[in-house]
Structure 1
Amino acid sequence: MTLIDLAPSAPRTDRLATLPIVVIGAGPVGLAAAAHLIERGLDVTILEAGADAGASVREWGHTRFFSPWRYLVDPAARRLLEAAGWRHPSPERMPTGAEFVERYLTPLAALPAIAERLRTGVRVTAVSREGMDRTRTRGRAAAPFVVRTRTADGAIERLTARAVIDASGTWSTPNPLASDGLELEGIDEIRDAVTHALPDVLGRDRDRFAGRRTTVVGAGHSAANTLLDLVELARREPGTRVTWLIRNARAARVAASADDDLAGRAALGDRVHAAVAEGLIELVDGFEILSARRDAGPVVLVGHRRGELAEHETDVVVNATGFRPDLAPLRELRLELDDIVEAPRRLAPLIDPNVHSCGTVEPHGFRELAHPEQGFFIVGMKSYGRAPTFLLATGYEQVRSVTAWLAGDTESASTVSLELPATGVCSTDIGGSGCC
């Protein structure tokens, strides 16, 4: 196994000491990282691909969190906000994504200490070391990071940094529809009929689904939310039909659990399975999608079902198959990732979805998130790779520990603790950026 240097990251050159720490992503975890860095007096630059902070959360803003407010606000962010007169929302209330942005992320991003360091409409396309590809070792730890970006108008820029925290999430990189994980054969032919997870079925996107056949692909909570919205739409709009297509024989991830402290999530599975039993949702289980085609108007999904070749016809497909990290911009960095879930190797055993639910993940920090590339960390939903067991509170503790380490406070960085709700089988694929 590659040895990882976990010594305190005091600047090794005068030049490094003058450079900021770059945070990629201005979602809840990225802004929390910025808040912790600012509290410690460290310079930070925050880069957000969207037009505003919390851009990914805005896209599923009509969806309600499973977690109440008391699990959704980072402690350092809260301290900065309250110093400016902000009041914490009712701790036990569960907000929608839109409320979360309006009442928390937007005020946080607007604080002068953060606003002056935040750049929106800037997409990170690559991260490397100055003058070095991943094969060069000598002098590597003393070389600044180079962060290449592309602005909304297409301009290419380069920033230098003493450290980089990647909190970009996974919302923009959903898993493909094909069961083998590869891009679906025929996707170009049907692309205009495929939507991202969590469309606003009863609002913004209503016309796309009303009076049509919709197939939701996926067995997690984002699929369940969309299915229930479609059932409601079908009550109002004649001709609206709802199909739930999964590759397993049973949708275990949305099964209710008596051990789940998040009541909204516990009830979700009951409601979906009740709708299936009532015939409001057609369940097509054991269907492994291989390819797709267009027969005049309808979309045809082609696959195997219980060992036999099968086809499924529909008008609209909702891709709720979960998310994966975009690792392409990090190719020139020395990362140590788990072979299965693509999380940092030390973290992967703690979050394995075959063993752990959200509430059984142990507290973890900079040690579990470290890579051979000293000074680079992946945090938040992206740190979990393909594991769907992330909670925002976990991400907040991650960045508290990481920022303490970057400040040279190894004692604080090493002392990790976390209060999480007890959960049964769970998933936070609802938002792909750490929503629950």
Structure 2
Amino acid sequence: MSQTHPRIQQLVKAIDFEEQEEKRRYVGQDIKSLKSAGLLLQPIQIIRRYFGFADYPEAQFRLLFPADTSQFRDGTAIEIFYRDEEPIKGILLSLQGKTGEIRFFAPDFPDWIDEQGVGIRRSSDTRTVQFMKDSLKNLTTNESLFTLFEQLHGDSLIPKASDISEVPISFLNRHINSSQQRAVQQILNAGDVFIVHGPPGTGKTTTLIESIVQLKLRGHQVLVAAPSNAAVDHMARGLIAVGVKAVRIGNSVKIADDLFSATPEGRLNDKNIQKEIKALKIRAEEFRKMALQYKRRFGKAEREQRNLLFAEVKSIRQEIRKTMDYHLDKIFSNAEVILGTPLALAEQRFKPQQFHTLFIDEAAQCLEPLAWGIIPLAKHTVLAGDHFQLPPTVLSQKATQLGLNISILETAIRNIE
């Protein structure tokens, strides 16, 4: 049964305004304007092509002329384009000097990738926009989630958590103070939502880590999110330091180098796994090279042969993904804690209420629709942050007027007694 709420409709409208503003900045301008604004790099020369993690097409490129690259940071959403051909969405993996790497969100490289005049331009973040819209749509069809949404928006109050522990707690950190101990007890006994708030330096991270350790000791698997990769990395380091089996997921270029061994890519570096995947990749590349022997202009028989070869490549690549998914499932099932940004966690397609507790750190910087995309993944949610912190960044003035910049923490803190 579909339900609606005025605030949901307001947020959807605000997201539309934000999307329009992004498109105005990155899409609705000609090449000359984009170049002068530093939002486009053209021409680029592809100097190496390969298939990277999850078998995405990736390429190394060189800038042929000096250019302003200040708008192109690692992890930037981009489009790779050539003349009137359909552009391909992607991500900038790295850019140092005149050399960079890009990942294509496509099954294979386009035919035109080696042509003269190929370029890359900044793109609106359509993945995040669609994720937020889907999250709000899910609210209207999930009765228990919709009830929680109503509670967080003041239609009814969420009961206060008990600070009485049924089982005596042996704290791992002997230095936490009495107020932190009480917060840990409340988190262990919390209902749907619990808040840990306070300015920097008040021990929020220490409280969260101790709470996660206590949940782990009780056999519970935990999910940890934060809107910034820096905050996720900080939590990951703290948990790993106390012996928690943590997996840090997300875009590898946005994860600190010292945490690579905790990422799925790092875990998949196992020799036996790599041997299995490498053999499949070699087969796929052999068929792909055979297919590419046929140029862009060819007869019917050649076209059919080329299509058959590409179909075989596609089949092998599906086998590669299945193999990787199998090993990733094992990695996730053995993890005590899984960490990432909301979008990174949602893209793993975890099951509803698969986790006991979701911790959202820096919740004062987390847009509310982003939070609703991952709250369904756990039975309980803990929001941590400083609600006096500056609100999340929103580009559109109209979206701000509709309250898109009101964080999940600010919303919740008004209505939880």
Superposed pair shares fold, TM > 0.5: no
Give 1 or 2: higher helix fraction. 2
Instruction: Identify the TM-score tier after normalising by the shorter chain.
Output: under 0.3
Q: Computing the radius of gyration over CA atoms, which structure comes out larger, 1 or 2?
A: 2
TM-score normalised over the length of structure 1: 0.21
TM-score normalised over the length of structure 2: 0.22
